[in-house]
Chains A and B, each alone.
Chain A
Amino acid sequence: MNAAALTAVRPEATTQNVTLAKALNLGLREAMAADDKVLLMGEDVGTLGGVFRVTDGLKAEFGADRVVDTPLAESGIVGTAVGLAMRGYRPVVEIQFDGFVYPAYDQIVCQVAKMHTRSHGRVPMPMVIRIPFGGGIGAVEHHSESPEAQFIHTPGLKVVACSNPVDGYWMLQQAIACDDPVIFLEPKRQYHSGKAELDPSADPLPLFATRRVRAGDDVTVISYGPQVKTCLTAAEASAGEDGPSLDVFDLRTLSPFDLEPIFESVRRTGRAVVVHEAHRTLGPGAEVAARITEECFFSLEAPVHRVTGFDTPYPPSRIEHQWLPDLDRVLDAVDRTLAF
């Protein structure tokens, strides 16, 4: 097939400059084209293309049997997805906003997560539950939450978070191909902000792998999802001011964690800061800090610092940018680990 024909059939097969929403859309399209057992379900995912347009055009392309506008009931969506998975399908479920996953929490924790164990592997749950997460979009309550710890704490689930369009494209396809249930977190405030070059012929990193996104020597900075960008900006700012040089990591996978690259870094820097929007107490940072302490105790020059959402409900949007970790708070924590 010549290049033009290839482009005509699969426009996504050429390098494109895409937003996160578009990259996820392309990833879903690839997965659906590759495996007709893959189907999408959720509120407004069909005709509307999702409230963030991540599923835009997919109903027209694959039909209403494979892109299902469901009744408004999250427990219903995930519960029926369990049955579809039993029947050999690979449901990709969209939860409209993070704060609306809780009606499905029982199905996720008691059914999705445990089915493999209970059936001795006879009934796998190859399901992906996509959740737009994180704040910063000026929304009303329940639309800006970071519920990842709830799922990391649940044995039987995989939990990943993408932080950029290229990862979104690959990680989503890898999650769909995974035979275990995957909670797939998408940083909603980045859906339409900023584009990246997506080369579908490139070799992706494996799904359950942490990535160093900027090399540095003084402090290890660890994040995922929407805060990766904050940490990179902080690292650039610090470098620009001849400040400390930051070794920045995008965890990408939160269950299982892939912390070897972090340990290797902390053994060099002796200092670590973990950044996330989720609440502090028992947030992912608590686990990362504990593991760093276990694995790098003799290399540590300072306690692991956390920059997180506070242990309060997410605030009204007019002050969300003060509540959320930002460049200043990250650099402040960096300074404090260095001053320790």
Chain B
Amino acid sequence: MSERALSAVNVPTSRTPSPVRGVPTPTDPDDRGSGGAPMVQLLTPAGTRVHDSEYDLEFTVEELLAFHRDMVLVRRFDTEATALQRHGELGIWAQVLGQEAAQIGAGHALKPQDFVLPTYREHGVAWCRGVDPVNLLGLFRGVDGGDWDPHDHNIALYTIVIGAQVLHACGYAMGMQRDGVVGTGDPDVDAAVLAHFGDGASAQGDVNEAMVFAASFNAPVVFFCQNNQWAISVPTTTQSTVPLYQRSAGFGFPGVRVDGNDVLASYAVTKAALQRARSGEGPMLIEAFTYRMGAHTTTDDPTRYRTAAEVEEWQRRDPIARLESYLRSEDLIDDSWLAELAEEADELGSRLRTACKALPDPDPLSPFGYVHAELPAELAAQRDEYAAYLASFEDAR
């Protein structure tokens, strides 16, 4: 293991620890909200720019504004989708509310040649990959399984079975190794895989097996765990009694906890981890410490298992508000920027509403369409029999 990898295993503890989830503390604007473990942070909840000994970066104005714009638009997309579910246009929706910084930060750290394995909540990352939000809605509306070509956007379809995609990420990374696109030194060639999963998923065998494989084969995969403190009603403490980022040490690669509500830190840490993987130094685990501000999905009732005080505590660490106050304090944005962005968000919202409602129901025979590369004769017969049955109703009219 390289020097750098080793130093990342022993993350410098100069980083300030603070309160444990679920235990609200008196409001301190500079409380880092790290859950008691050292955590990389470049922007405090109050919007003060702070520095990290290992992951600090200089950001251009364009980068800062792009982070802000993307977070605002993704939040709007998420709000709109939630409303569409309430109006019966979607069967269910999994909100990303509160996790925008982790996802936009990670998404911006990707290069076009990298590949992403998402969960079902990666709307911000999908946005960064250029997937049209409308094509994400189909899965939740119940018309398809997500309508984008993974190869066009270098992001796989959403995975609902918890943890399964993390193994796929490792295998995809092994493929990159074989294709000679790791460690060439050419920044336009070297590639890595970003594997998303949640705190709950961290308990799954698949996820742990993926870490074993990644370590064994030194695969260029970055494990990006959004610890949003809850797996439906189960707190992260049930999945892990140590901070999740520390898990990687046992598998033999570095891990780091980053403030997942800090887009600058999320970007910086993911960028470093991806670069490390691309250059052939192997896997790394990032625990993005964040919070699921909404319900698990639109069918969930979080009041049954968490307190309003806890949610309020996290509200204070809102990822967008924090970046906004920093940008304002630096005079990088003003009211007119915000007004223009609000208008753009409105347009996005109205486009989504219209496009979602226009998504057609699939043909009843479509389930037969892609079961196999080549439809077997007996399945074709089943389809034809069903088609004849459906036609008999038409004839009866």
Q: A residues engaging B (CB < 8 A)?
A: 43-44, 46-49, 51, 69-73, 75-76, 99-100, 102-103, 138-143, 280, 310-313, 315-320, 322-323, 328-329, 332
Contacts and interface: CB of A to CB of B under 8 A. Distances in A.
B362 A315 contact: yes
Given A44-B232, A312-B371, A319 B203 contact: no
A140 B142 contact: yes
Contact of B371 (A44, A103, A138, A313): A313
B394 interface: no
A72 B201 contact: yes
18 contacts: A47-B305, A51-B232, A70-B238, A72-B239, A76-B203, A99-B161, A139-B91, A140-B92, A141-B145, A280-B382, A312-B367, A313-B367, A317-B142, A318-B141, A319-B367, A320-B142, A323-B367, A328-B393
B24 to A, nearest CB: 19
B366 interface: yes
Contact of B91 (A51, A70, A317): A317
Contacts of B304: 47-49
Given A140-B91, A312-B371, A319 B364 contact: yes
Contacts of A317: 91, 142
B8 interface: no
Interface in B151-182: 160-163
Contacts of A138: 91-92, 142
Given A76-B203, A103-B206, A313-B371, A43 B232 contact: yes
Interface string B381-392: 011001001101
Residue among B162, B362, B367, B379 with max Cβ neighbours from chain A (10 Å):
B367
B238 A318 contact: no
A318 B142 contact: yes
Contacts of A322: 364, 390
B106 to A, nearest CB: 22
Contacts of A70: 238
Contacts of B364: 319, 322-323
Nearest to B145: A141
Q: Which 8 A-B pairs have the closest CB atoms?
A: A317-B142, A71-B203, A48-B233, A72-B200, A312-B367, A315-B367, A322-B364, A318-B142
Given A49-B304, A71-B239, A318-B362, 20 more contacts: A43-B232, A44-B232, A46-B233, A47-B304, A70-B238, A73-B204, A76-B205, A103-B161, A140-B92, A140-B120, A140-B139, A141-B160, A142-B161, A310-B386, A311-B379, A315-B367, A316-B143, A316-B362, A317-B91, A329-B389
A322 B367 CA distance: 11
B205 A319 contact: no
B140 interface: yes
Nearest to B297: A140
Contacts of B386: 310
B234 interface: yes
Contacts of B393: 328
B368 interface: yes
A76 B202 CA distance: 12
Nearest to A68: B238
Given A319-B366, A322-B364, A69 B142 contact: no
B387 to A, nearest CB: 12
B231 interface: yes
B335 interface: no
B144 interface: yes
A82 B234 CA distance: 23
Contacts of A280: 382
Contact of A310 (B160, B234, B368): B368
Nearest to B364: A322
B330 interface: no
Given A47-B304, A142-B160, A329-B389, A75 B205 contact: yes
A121 to B, nearest CB: 30
Residue among A73, A75, A313 with max Cβ neighbours from chain B (10 Å):
A73
B142 A72 contact: no
B240 to A, nearest CB: 8
Contacts of A44: 232-234
A72 B234 contact: yes
Nearest to A317: B142
Interface string B82-109: 0000000001100000000000000000
Contacts of B142: 138, 140, 316-318, 320
A52 to B, nearest CB: 10
A72 B203 contact: yes
B21 to A, nearest CB: 15
A49 B120 CA distance: 24
Interface string B298-311: 01100011000000
B161 A100 contact: yes
Contacts of A329: 389
A76 B379 CA distance: 36
A72 B231 contact: yes
Residue among B91, B139, B141, B300 with max Cβ neighbours from chain A (10 Å):
B91
A2 to B, nearest CB: 36
Contacts of B300: 51
Contact of B238 (A69, A316, A332): A69
B357 to A, nearest CB: 13
B361 A319 contact: yes
B204 A72 contact: yes
A100 B144 CA distance: 20
B201 to A, nearest CB: 7
Residue among A44, A70, A140 with max Cβ neighbours from chain B (10 Å):
A140
Contacts of B140: 140
B375 to A, nearest CB: 10
Contacts of B234: 43-44, 69, 71-72
